[in-house]
Structure 1
Amino acid sequence: MIYNYYELRVGRERNSQRALADQVYASGGPGVLGVFAPLLGYASNEALVLTDERATSDAVLRGTGAASAEWSRMSPTLRPHQNARPETGGIYVHNWFTIDGAAFDEFVQLSGAAWPDFEAKFDARIYGLFAVEPTAAERNAGARRLLLMTRYADLGEWQKSRDPTTEAMQIFARRRELTRVSLARACLLLPPNV
């Protein structure tokens, strides 16, 4: 399955992200998996949308009032599982990794090896680890990008999960050696109004 991740610039009005979410959920149907509003590390006029192949880009972009949009085409690695949707509540950390392209398989394997310990020790759940379709420039540079989406109970739980003594963090330390750049930002899932 193919996923699309949109980074949209919306109006400065306080309810811009909620208005966008209502419109995107209504026009995109079940293919819209989540609309996210900024919490930490994003501009206040940003919104993020995750869709699968059932939702077209028109469903996300047409009539939303977005001033600009960037999008990434992605495929799942170990997660999400077919038809999985992000859980409501808590916060989501969207962590973008640029890694050595030759280390892609090892990076994914290390991630999966660490998740059981990580999820057992913290109020956190990995929603997905996505492989971003590489650009020509990334291929030429020997790089790959991935997006890790993790739900935490709150920012305090994210901080607590940085404990270097856990088995998961020891595995993540090796993963860090394969990473050129990591950028983690927090946001809130805006669920559909029902």
Structure 2
Amino acid sequence: MAWRYFQVELGRARAAQAELAAFLRRTDGPLAVWAPVLGFASNTALVLLPPDHRTDVLGAPGVVGGEAHDLEPTLRPTAAEPPPAGGIYVHNWFTVDAEGADEFVRLSGEAWPDFETRFEARIYGLFLAAESEADLAAGQRRLLLMTRYRDLGEWQKSRDPTTDAWATFLRRRELTRVSLARACALIP
């Protein structure tokens, strides 16, 4: 069974993200709800549901629109454990050539040990999105990488091109058509 990831648009209520998180926690419970920090509209919330949890996030109070994605974990996470609190999370959507998806995952796993040793960062998960008809027609696959950083300064620091991880990430970039990274924070 696939994990579910939602990017939802909320109404104008000042505490809309916190209210959504509280509502969802009263249901069968999300693994995580994030609020925007950088790159998302201010009325956005992001929700991750583990397998077998089918909460109607798009029908939740305060939600006025959004989209859902079915995801399969690749190398991480290995269990349905919530992401650690604190710091910021960067959600990076990658669009890659379909035939390069396995290599993209392999290269990611090769780079993570050096990356996580050098920086105050931890990869929570790398997920492969279910193929849409548009993906099939374009010969592409989409992946979602969720990385926790101490803060945005640590994210900037991790752009260091002199590391072994960066050299591997450059090889991974050759497989990438589009990358869209945006920052958010877990709602406690």
Per-residue CA deviation, residues 97-121 of structure 1 (Å, 9 max, x unaligned), is 0001100111000000000000000
Specify which of 176, 181, 184 is matched with residue 184 of structure 1: 181
Q: CA deviation at 1:20?
A: 0.5
Cα distance in 1, alignment partners of residues 113 and 60 from structure 2: 42
State how far apart, in whole Å, the 2-side matches of 1:164 and 1:90 are: 23
Q: Which position in structure 2 is the counterpart of 1:157?
A: 154
- Residue-by-residue CA offset, 1:131-164 (whole Å, 9 max, x unaligned): 0001112112110000000000000000000000
Which residue, out of 22, 43, 46, partners 2:44?
A: 46
Q: CA deviation at 1:13?
A: 2.4
Cα deviation, 1:2-24, whole Å, max 9, x if unaligned, reads: 21000111122221100000001
**Residue 13 of structure 1 aligns with which residue?**
13
> Sequence identity of aligned pairs in percent?
57
State the TM-score, normalizing by the size of structure 1.
Answer: 0.94
Q: List structure 1 segments (4+ residues) > 4 angstroms apart after TM superposition.
A: none
Pick the aligned partner of 1:69 from 66, 69, 77: 66
Using the alignment, how far apart are the partners of 1:62 and 1:147 within structure 2? 23
C-alpha displacement of 1:83 = 2.5
- Give, in whole Å, the separation in 1 of the partners of 2:144 and 2:18: 24
Deviation (angstroms), 1:66: 0.2
The Cα of 1:54 is off from its aligned counterpart by: 2.9
Q: CA deviation at 1:69?
A: 1.9
Q: Within 2, Cα distance between the matches of 1:112 and 1:71?
A: 26
Number of aligned positions between the proteins: 188
| C-alpha separation in 2, matches of 1:168 and 1:25 | 37
Bigger CA drift: 5-14 or 109-118? 5-14
Which deviates further from its counterpart, 46-55 or 35-44?
Answer: 46-55
In structure 1, the gaps of 5 or more residues are none
Deviation of the 1:65 alpha carbon = 1.8
Residues 165 and 16 (structure 1), Cα distance of their counterparts in 2 relative to 1, 3 Å cut: same
- Tell me if structure 2 keeps the 8 A contact 1:80–1:127: yes
Q: Is the 8 A contact 1:12 1:44 kept in 2?
A: no
List aligned pairs for 1:128-167, cutoff 5 A.
128-167=125-164
User: Given that residues 37 and 46 in structure 1 are in contact (C-alpha distance below 8 angstroms), is that contact kept between their aligned partners in structure 2?
Assistant: yes
Cα distance, 1:82 vs structure 2: 1.1
List per-residue Cα deviations over 1:173-192 (Å, max 9, x = no partner): 0000000000000000012x
Amino acid at match of 2:8: L
Report deviation, 1:85: 1.5
Conserved? CA contact 1:114–1:172, under 8 Å: yes
**Structure 2: which 5+ residue stretches go unaligned?**
none
In 1, Cα distance between equivalents of 2:86 and 2:102:
31
